[in-house]
Amino acid sequence: MSQTPHRPTSPSERLALAGIAALTLVTVLIGALAPGGHGPAPRTVADDPTCLEWSDGCQVCKRWPDSVACSLPGIACEPGVQRCLIRNDG
């Protein structure tokens, strides 16, 4: 049993299909061209150059002139929020 597809014959059906196609096209274009709305990623304590030493309760990290060094966390430690312990405000 083969059925032929229904083709719009009346002007109102053609207008409705054209409207649906236009609305779909506009929606896709808005999604592609609209700005993302994402601001810069929030800074972490480790990204702050004025913070010389910070901790999350499990490990302590210290900023050296050419690198960063961190202690090893305890085996059962659950890290918390990072806090700056020593700040260079000068």
Length in residues, the chain: 90
CB 29 within 8 A of CB 58: no
Tens of pLDDT, residue by residue over 8-64, are: 678 888 888 888 888 888 888 887 787 766 656 557 888 888 899 999 999 999 999
| pTM for the model | 0.52
Burial class (CB in 10 A: 0-12, 13-18, 19+), 51: buried
CB 54 within 8 A of CB 46: yes
> In Å, how far are 8, 34, 42, 69 from 78, measured between CA atoms?
64, 40, 22, 20
